A and B are shown apart, each in its own frame.
Chain A
């Protein structure tokens, strides 16, 4: 022992320690990841917080300050928002609306999604291949497109433009406008309409998460209950439900935070009756340069989302690992629906026809109608698709396939989704690798937490922060790191990649966790370095996950509106934004055409990835 102590040298120890850290690419990558995440996520958040305490020039008159007070610390914005005469209209009412929407949508979507998941995975429902495809489609149709379809169906004559399908039917039946208004208005606009449309959109999350959890439950667990003499409902309640509860609770936060953060649907269905939520207030404040108020609202929304996550984690507690109770083989015997089978099948068919197929069909029909709401053969036209530009229609704007704006938007959309898909997937998988390898270690937890933050920031607010932060050049110690990105494609890409990191890295983590550590260790023993291991072992084994990760990002960015709506400039316009603009200019037909093209692309990519890539959306979501 003496001899060893003599060998001890502090400098050699330090040298070895530094060498070990620096020569290990894993450490370097973790370090870079943490720095980047801090810069792209934490800093903007702090910046946003600081902004809400700084007086801006435009509010000088209201506060009675002079030019010298600009940028000084002030409670003005918070006080105005939280404790002034304006609070009720500015904050409390929209907040209550947001919360009712959030709760309403969560409850309905979880119930619907879980029932569908159970029927699809565990019951002997007929036509399963058809249903399981149909059930995914809502995920591919953006919620604002559904709102558009909803309007086409129920729009009342009062709000500018032509009445919707139902209203025209009623008018043809000789019912007076006032009666129509009274009957249809509560359905067409406002709270109920928004909850229904968002439920039809967000149940897909629950469906994907819960069906993945159900798939991982060995049916022997349920059979054991049966042997003990439990009835089917008792088994469902006492065995199945507790096992999928963690997945359902994850679906709740996902749905809740998405529902309170959504903007498109609120704008379509809420605006006609002045139904405002926090997110639509945030948008209009942002648009009218009320940045400080908008950011303060965003912070409140982040707090609500964080609170929901916190409650969720308290509820799940240590049960998180349930989903992995696989058992051998995971053999699954479907449960008989017996006499209920035909009834349930019919209900499902009706649901799919009304809830999914009809909106698409309405959009297609409407896109071919010269004038909305006039259901006669002579009114059908392909003008909005291929028209050359008639000064009497749409102020002379030609049909979308002859329209330079459309071509630019299509190109932008494809470029954006592709670039984002590639970068997002690569970063997501790398971060997933760090989270998976660093499980239970400090750096793993840190990365996991950092990556999760964008999830809590409402899309509209996220776009707003990035707009304000990257509109001016970013410099560090006087060195310009990033030039001003306003109106560039780069800003669009950066925003989308970072906002989608939580999803991408979750997909990456679950993907990487499937690769046993020993496979990599075996390569370490053989002398393979970090990059060699990544290229030869990790990447080939996680190819499937890469493809589903790519698809997940592709699909969600293709239809993204809320996130990029504030950043858009005519040059960088994408398909969803173009559709949004057409709708606002009261050209729903052209808007429908754009939406249909977009939906077709999403569907095509999904089908291709499914056929060739063996990729599964559910797999990459259930992280």
Chain B
């Protein structure tokens, strides 16, 4: 079990400032996902935690013990940090059998032979690859190699497990299976896990907390549903969710009672209680409404709940759900409807949503000013 604290961590590659004053706390037993587009610094963060990279500034503590103190040039070697890492490429040693790959670390630690055998067998069993112990990595499928890599990482029972995009080399179906398995692994071992991915579905389904990165900076750290419901700014809102959130530009008037917005989806009034501290006390401002596709409902005839007229741009039935792109004024809105319905192009439809459930952002600061409740 392990609590990790990163304080003021800076990492440069030459002149390239990769991590910018990073502050992140990972609680004991967390499944923390570092999420962001490629090149945002998430893998670098992982490597800094692992000890493979030395940050230029900052401190890292594990369970209160100092692991990195950049000002004093102190960096604990990776092996002293009681952690293990699964690489994106798996990095299995091609000249060793599955057994030897998994047993390597234990042999380095000079554990007794019978202990090694027992531990390796149990790790392989847990990953359901006991029968492949004598094979070489090249004789295994991608999914099996993945399991070997994880077995190698958990065999020493590390307090912290680092996973660097472990599922990105697997095919779509296998990826879903492995997700469930990793979540189960986290549950059974109780190990703290730091997981790097650019796949938001992985992040949302598996983690207890998500840290969203942008260009070497942390944007938001929150549990998955909170991140989804109340993204702190436009960047997070846009990054999280598939299909993406709909943005509708508009203007707003704020007063003591709340806020009224004017946009292509009509006039909407929000209560003061739902506002975030970032909203001004009163006055006018440009806003962006954030409406998740599943919050929009669609009908062919107008009624009290469906007043917004639009024209179908394209309809995409996918069996369990239907995605419909609707042109409303100058905006394009994606609607997600359960079940499969066929819409003709240019057909007139009517949309509606519950104003309580949508987000509103300040267009200028890009910050959230109205919660979804």
Residues of chain B from 68 to 88 with CB closer than 8 A to chain A in the complex? 69, 71-75, 77-79, 83-85, 87
Considering only residues 89-118 of chain B, those with a C-beta below 8 Å from chain A are: 89, 91, 93-95, 104-105, 108-109
Q: Are A522 and B7 in contact (CB under 8 A)?
A: no
Q: Which residues of A contact B89 (CB under 8 A)?
A: 516, 518
Q: Which residues of B contact A522 (CB under 8 A)?
A: 85, 87, 91, 93, 152
Q: Besides the contacts A13-B71, A521-B85, what 5 more A-B pairs have beta carbons closer than 8 Å?
A: A12-B74, A521-B91, A524-B79, A525-B105, A527-B79
Closest CB-CB distance, A16 to chain B, in whole Å? 4
Chain A residues lying within 8 Å of B94, measured Cβ to Cβ, are: 541
Would you list 27 pairs from A and B whose C-beta atoms are within 8 A, ordered by A residue? A1-B7, A4-B69, A4-B71, A7-B69, A7-B71, A9-B72, A12-B72, A13-B73, A16-B73, A16-B75, A20-B75, A519-B91, A521-B91, A522-B91, A522-B152, A523-B104, A524-B78, A524-B79, A525-B85, A526-B105, A526-B156, A527-B108, A527-B109, A528-B79, A528-B104, A540-B95, A541-B95
Q: How far is the CB of B16 from chain A (nearest CB, A)?
A: 12
Give the residues in chain A near B84, CB-CB below 8 Å. 525-526
Residues of chain B contacted by A523 (CB below 8 angstroms)? 93, 104
B108 lies within 8 A of A526 (CB):
yes
Task: Chain A residues near B51: list those with CB within 8 A.
Answer: 525
- For the complex formed, measure the closest distance between the CB of A188 and the CB atoms of chain B, giving whole angstroms: 55
A536 and B7 alpha carbons, distance in the complex (Å): 36
Is B52 an interface residue when CB atoms closer than 8 A count as contact? Answer: yes
Contacting residues, chain A, for B77 (C-beta < 8 A): 524
The reply on B50 being an interface residue by CB < 8 A is yes
* Contacting pair B87 A532 (CB below 8 A): no
A517 to B94, CA, bound (A): 13
Query: A528 contacts B7, CB within 8 Å?
Result: no
Q: Which residues of B contact A516 (CB under 8 A)?
A: 89, 91
User: At the interface, yes or no: B8 with Cβ under 8 Å from chain A?
Assistant: yes
Pair B7/A4 contact, Cβ less than 8 Å = yes
Binary A-proximity of B40-78 (CB < 8 A = 1, otherwise 0): 000000000011100000010000000001011111011
CA distance A13 to B77 in the complex (A): 16
A300 within 8 A of B: no
Interface residues on A, range: 20 to 34
A518 to B87, CA, bound (A): 7
A245 to B75, CA, bound (A): 46
A9 to B74, CA, bound (A): 11
Task: Tell whether, in the assembled complex, residue B8 and residue A1 are in contact, meaning their CB atoms are under 8 Å apart.
Answer: yes
Tell me the nearest residue of chain A to B13, going by C-beta: A440
Determine if A8 is an interface residue (Cβ-Cβ < 8 Å): yes
Instruction: Determine the distance from Cα of A20 to Cα of B74 in the docked complex, in whole angstroms.
Output: 8
Contact at B78–A525, with CB atoms within 8 Å? Answer: yes
Complex-state Cα separation, A527 to B50, whole angstroms: 12
For the complex of A and B, 5 pairs with smallest distance between CB atoms: A527-B79, A526-B105, A518-B91, A522-B91, A16-B73
Which B residue sits closest to A8, measured CB to CB?
Answer: B71
Interface centre among A13, A522, A524, A537 (most CB of B within 10 A): A522
B interface SS class: mixed
Indicate the size class of the contact surface on chain B: 20 to 34
In contact, A526 and B79 (Cβ under 8 angstroms): yes
Q: In the complex, what residues of A have CB within 8 A of residue B75's CB?
A: 16, 20
A228 at the interface (CB under 8 A from B): no
Residue of A1, A516, A519 with highest tally of chain B CB at under 10 A: A519
A524 to B93, CA, bound (A): 13
Instruction: Write the nearest CB–CB distance from A441 to chain B, whole angstroms.
Output: 10
B24 to chain A, nearest CB (A): 15
The CA of A1 and the CA of B74, in the complex, are separated in Å by 17
Taking CB atoms and an 8 Å cut-off, the chain A residues in 1-40 that contact chain B are: 1, 4, 7-9, 12-14, 16-17, 20
Residues of A within 8 A of B93 (CB): 519, 522-523, 537, 541
Distance (Å) between the CB of B160 and the closest chain A CB? 11
What is the 8 Å Cβ interface bit string for chain A, positions 491-535, against chain B (1 contact, 0 not)? Answer: 000000000000000000000000010110111111110001000
Q: Is B71 in contact with A524, judged by CB distance below 8 angstroms?
A: no
A521 touches B108 (CB 8 A): no
Q: A1-B8, A9-B72 are known contacts. Are A528 and B52 too (CB-CB below 8 A)? A: no
User: Chain B 138-159 against A: per-residue CB contact (8 Å), 1 yes, 0 no?
Assistant: 0000000000000010001000
Chain B residues with CB under 8 A of A7: 69, 71-72
How distant is B90 from chain A, measured CB to nearest CB, in Å?
8
Q: Which residues does chain A contribute within 8 Å of B52, judged by CB atoms?
A: 521, 524-525
In angstroms, how far is the closest chain B Cβ from the Cβ of A438?
14
Cβ–Cβ < 8 Å partners of B69 in chain A: 4, 7
Instruction: Tell me whether A13 and B72 are in contact in the complex, defined as CB-CB below 8 angstroms, given that A525-B79, A526-B104, A527-B108 are known contacts.
Output: yes
**Bound-state Cα–Cα, A14 to B72, Å:** 7
CA distance A14 to B79 in the complex (A): 23
Partner of B74, one of A16, A526, A528: A16
Chain B nearest CB from A511 CB (Å) reads 14
**Which single residue of chain A is at the shortest CB-CB distance from B101?**
A522
Report the Cα distance A526→B85, complex, angstroms.
9
Contacts of B104 on A, CB cut-off 8 Å?
523, 526, 528, 536
By the criterion CB–CB under 8 Å, are A8 and B105 in contact?
no
Q: Would you give the 0/1 interface string for A589-623, flagging 1 where the beta carbon is closer than 8 Å to chain B?
A: 00000000000000000000000000000000000
Chain B positions 149 through 174: 1 when the CB is less than 8 Å from some CB of chain A, otherwise 0: 00010001000000000000000000
Q: Are A20 and B59 in contact (CB under 8 A)?
A: no
Shortest B120–chain A CB gap in Å is 13
Inter-chain CA distance A525–B153, complex, in Å, is 9
Give the distance in Å from the alpha carbon of A532 to the alpha carbon of B104 in the complex: 11
Contacts of B95 in A (CB 8 A): 540-541
Assess whether B71 is in contact with A521, with CB atoms less than 8 Å apart. no
Give A532's nearest chain B residue, CB to CB. Answer: B108
Q: Shortest beta-carbon distance, A296 to chain B, in Å? A: 42
Q: Write out the residue numbers on chain A whose beta carbons fall within 8 Å of the beta carbon of B73.
A: 13-14, 16-17, 20
A526 and B116 CA atoms in complex are apart in Å by: 14
Q: How far is the CB of B21 from chain A (nearest CB, A)?
A: 11
CA distance A444 to B215 in the complex (A): 29
Most chain B Cβ neighbours within 10 Å, of A1, A4, A518, A526:
A526
Known A521-B52, A521-B91, A522-B91: A4·B59 in contact at CB below 8 Å: yes
Q: Shortest beta-carbon distance, B60 to chain A, in Å? A: 12
When distances are taken between beta carbons in the complex, the residues of chain A under 8 Å from B72 are 7-9, 12-13, 16
Bound Cα distance from A540 to B8, whole angstroms: 41
**Bound form: Cα–Cα A527–B80 in Å:** 8
For B104, give the chain A residue with the smallest CB separation. A526
Residue of A nearest to B74 (CB): A16
A532–B109 Cα distance when bound, in Å, is 12
CB contacts (< 8 Å) of A536 on chain B: these are 104
Give Cα distance in the complex from A583 to B75, angstroms: 66
Bound state CA distance, A525 and B89, in angstroms?
15
CB-defined contacts of A14 to chain B, threshold 8 Å: 73
From residue A356, how far is it (CB to closest CB) to chain B in Å?
38
B287 to chain A, nearest CB (A): 36
A9–B77 Cα distance when bound, in Å, is 21
Please indicate the chain B residues that have their CB under 8 angstroms from the CB of A8 in the complex.
Answer: 71-72
State the CA gap A528–B7 with chains docked (Å).
Answer: 28
A527 CB, nearest partner CB in chain B, Å = 3
Distance (whole angstroms) from the CB of A67 to the closest CB of chain B: 58
A519 to B52, CA, bound (A): 13
Pairwise interchain contact A528-B108, C-beta atoms closer than 8 A = yes
Q: How far is the CA of A275 from the CA of B203 in the complex (A)?
A: 77
CB proximity of B179 to chain A, nearest CB, Å: 23
